[in-house]
Structure 1
Amino acid sequence: MVPFDPRDEAFLADPYPTFARLRAEAPVHDHPLLGMPVAVSHAACSQVLRGRELGRIWRDAEPAESFRAFNLLHRNSLLEREGPSHARLRSAVAGAFNRGHTARLAPWVGALADRLAGELAAAIDEHGSADLMSILAAPLPVEVIAELLGVPEPTRSRMRGWSNAIVAMYEPDPGEARRAAAERAAAEFVTELRAFAAHRAQHPGDDLVSDLLSADLDPDELVGTAALLLMAGHEATVNVIGNGVLALLTHRDQWNRLMADPELDERAVEELIRFDAPLQLFERTAVADTEVAGYPVPAGTKIAVLLGAAARDPAVVDRPDELDVGRHPNPHLGFGLGVHYCLGAPLARVEVAAALAALRSRLPDLELAAPPVRRPDFVMRGLRELRVTRR
């Protein structure tokens, strides 16, 4: 029996009742459609993410000759490495981040969020309603990642399209058209980033690419790291903002509570990540025979954690199906655990908090103008359109 069909529209609209049923039945389930078992309890997912017998073992997209750029980006990503190679690359990237980029960018991010929220308010005033995704949620994170890397125009304007195309490959059945688009986007990204890195090698700046060059990353590792920052930093944050604003506007008491109390912003960010997880599935591969919650996982076998299922596990979260912007503690796994914990988590938190603060300033009377349009994807859970208006 298949636990769920990741292509089913009803499931994609609200996967959480299915996750609750699966958690009640067992902590790990075989999933023939995904081709791997899936962990659904918080404890099982934590075990997968922390377990040293479970790593990120990259397998090239096939046929490999058709995905040269896509495979290059992932083969050289710290997310897809283990052991000394991962430690060396992670240390270099962490060192670059620790040079104060998040603190440096925080005021700029706040000003950008305020400007975009102002554009959203103006569009609502002019047209009666406007799409929060295209005006605020999508532009904000990609602009932040581009600023972090130091990437100028016209490359900056193309980054969102590259990211959207590449991450489509993470879905269970992307189809040939999306697979081809992902490789084209990856190839363009590699070409542009290599050219920019060559320029920065001669003309260093106050940006992450300059810092990574000084850390002696080779050219492939540099573009792989930049791609990871773009895809992880951009896609997840877009979806946190979109999913989060939708959740707040459909739980009006929590929206009003947040609009009235800026001190709740930090806790609200964590709750929005937990309540409707922007990344639903994350894979690991057994590097040795092991088991997860009693489920055998032989060496070489992939296993996935369902982060949305873990986030609503009543064993660790009180009233898990309720949105509570003041929730504390909040043991969500949205940024991962262990050696692959997200290095960009502090910056992502700054971005989401800035978006909430900007909406409080510009649009405290925001409300839905139409039913949201969801993206037809499971792994990267988000909205295509969120049309809003004023009360």
Structure 2
Amino acid sequence: MTTVDLLDPALVDDPYPLLVTWRAAGPVLRATDGRWVATTHAAVSATLRHRALGRIWTDWQPAEQMEPFNTLHRNQLMENEPPEHTRMRRLLAGAFAKGHVERMRPRIETLADALLDELDPTGPVDVLAAYAEPMPVYVIADLLGVPREDHVRLRDWSQAIVHMYEQGVDEATRESAVRASADFADYVRGVVELRRAQPGEDLVNDLIAERDGGSGFSEEELIATVVLLLNAGHEASVNTFGNGLHALLRHPDQLARVTTGEVTPATALEELIRFDAPLQLFERTATAQVEIAGVTVAKGETVACLMGSANRDAAVFGADPATGADAFDVARDPNPHVGFGLGRHFCLGAPLARVELEITLRRLLERFPDIALAGAPPRRPTWVLRGLAALQVTVGPAGR
């Protein structure tokens, strides 16, 4: 059996050639660290949907040192299974059901236009720093009812925390994540206290008020939920937009299909999510012995789902060089990517993410249909959360 090295440096620059090799070797393989690795769309889907494969949080050690980081994760939706997960998901869904996604749509349109007004049409501009990075933080800030001017702190805390999701993190990363977790939790605690004293019409207010069978979020769950919303919303949105726009600009024929109206931005967005996945690996742990693709996974063993590999599986997306799994086709439909997960941990924020990303992409291409790459972009030195460090473009004169 082929052994998978999840620390292979080739995964950072371009994981896809290696993923082809791993898929060919089998749907479920062993990693050098002992984990199982699901490589195909079928194996990843089966793992994500299986009720006996869940998110089982294990505290980072030493626990006393790591407690601020551990507390945030121990009490959040994504790291729990039923019955806690069921209760928290119902509470969060109930708060979102108050019309927050539709409430945000006109705000996102206005925000996109304001950020695009600031782009310099005369020279190269980093569209990530100027447009894609502030957008999701502003959106989440508005959604939660916190000041937009705090976006730099919120972004920095978020990035420090999510760096812990990489493979083989060092001591400096751990220390930074602990500090960020403590500072972020204190900040959110202050927001919650303010909203209890001065109720508003934002999501934090509804999270405080939401009840399920008479009980709501505990204090630590409420804080962890707000932190999760920003971390997941920011990192996924920035990396999806950056990776996707980069792919679009490297394929001028596909870009033209969107700018001319042949393909809608909403349809193209699904291909942007699929083609270069912002989340490459997501884990599940067996709560009982299960079988995935003919492989027996013992209770307590972990399966690492390779999301980017699933999204490039020719068995699902085809082998035709022009339209298949490794082709970038903005009109692809159906497009059963696993970008938002599957099963009980399917991303609850997917509707908001789709609205935000569709508006962000659509307004950029409407305003600057002649946008083009201004050089090869540098990648972040990570691969689980795959993204660009910068994306220099020329936008040209404004269009519509």
TM bracket (short chain): over 0.9
- For structure 1, which runs of at least 5 residues remain unmatched after alignment? none
Q: CA deviation at 1:32?
A: 1.3
Structure 1 residues 150 and 7: alpha-carbon distance in aligned structure 2, compared to 1, 3 A threshold = farther
Counterpart pick for 2:350 among 327, 336, 345:
345
Contact kept, 8 Å, 1:6 with 1:378, in 2: the verdict is no
Q: CA deviation at 1:295?
A: 1.5
More displaced stretch, 144-153 vs 67-76: 144-153
Contact kept, 8 Å, 1:4 with 1:18, in 2: the verdict is no
1:233-312 correspondence runs (5 A): 233-261=233-261, 264-312=264-312
Contact kept, 8 Å, 1:171 with 1:378, in 2: the verdict is yes
Counterpart pick for 1:332 among 337, 362, 366:
337
1:43-192 correspondence runs (5 A): 43-120=42-119, 122=120, 124-125=121-122, 128-152=123-147, 155-192=150-187
Q: Could you report, residue by residue, the CA deviation over 1:182-208 in whole angstroms, capped at 9, with x for unpaired residues?
A: 110000011010011011011111111
- For structure 2, which runs of at least 5 residues remain unmatched after alignment? 211-215, 319-323
Contact kept, 8 Å, 1:6 with 1:12, in 2: the verdict is no
Q: 1:238 & 1:145 partners in 2: Cα distance?
A: 13
Q: Per the alignment, in what secondary structure is the counterpart of residue 69 of structure 2?
A: helix
Q: Could you report, residue by residue, the CA deviation over 1:34-67 in whole angstroms, capped at 9, with x for unpaired residues?
A: x411101000000110001101100011111111
The aligned counterpart of 2:31 is 31
The aligned counterpart of 1:389 is 394
Q: CA deviation at 1:6?
A: 3.4
Q: CA deviation at 1:245?
A: 0.6
What RMSD in Å do the two structures reach over aligned CA positions?
A: 1.4
The aligned counterpart of 2:194 is 199
Q: CA deviation at 1:252?
A: 0.7
Q: Which amino acid aligns with 1:139?
A: P
Q: CA deviation at 1:229?
A: 0.7
Contact kept, 8 Å, 2:60 with 2:70, in 1: the verdict is yes
Contact kept, 8 Å, 1:7 with 1:376, in 2: the verdict is no
Q: 2:57 & 2:317 partners in 1: Cα distance?
A: 33
Q: Which amino acid aligns with 2:260?
A: A
The aligned counterpart of 2:321 is none
The aligned counterpart of 2:314 is 314
Q: Which amino acid aligns with 1:176?
A: E
Contact kept, 8 Å, 1:4 with 1:11, in 2: the verdict is no
Q: TM-score, normalised by structure 2?
A: 0.93
Q: 2:259 & 2:271 partners in 1: Cα distance?
A: 15
Q: Which amino acid aligns with 1:99?
A: K
Q: CA deviation at 1:361?
A: 2.1
The aligned counterpart of 1:364 is 369
Q: 2:261 & 2:114 partners in 1: Cα distance?
A: 21
Q: CA deviation at 1:262?
A: 7.4
Q: CA deviation at 1:154?
A: 5.0
Q: Could you report, residue by residue, the CA deviation over 1:245-304 in whole angstroms, capped at 9, with x for unpaired residues?
A: 100000110111111117511111111000000000000100001121112211111111
Counterpart pick for 2:381 among 376, 380, 383:
376
Q: Per the alignment, in what secondary structure is the counterpart of residue 365 of structure 1?
A: coil
Q: CA deviation at 1:390?
A: 3.9
Q: CA deviation at 1:153?
A: 5.2
Contact kept, 8 Å, 2:365 with 2:371, in 1: the verdict is no
Q: 1:152 & 1:68 partners in 2: Cα distance?
A: 28
The aligned counterpart of 2:213 is none
Q: CA deviation at 1:114?
A: 2.1
The aligned counterpart of 1:3 is 4
The aligned counterpart of 1:219 is 219
Q: CA deviation at 1:156?
A: 3.7
Q: 2:343 & 2:229 partners in 1: Cα distance?
A: 18
Contact kept, 8 Å, 2:141 with 2:148, in 1: the verdict is no
Q: Could you report, residue by residue, the CA deviation over 1:304-352 in whole angstroms, capped at 9, with x for unpaired residues?
A: 1000000011111130111111110000011111111101001100111
Q: CA deviation at 1:29?
A: 1.1
More displaced stretch, 12-21 vs 342-351: 12-21
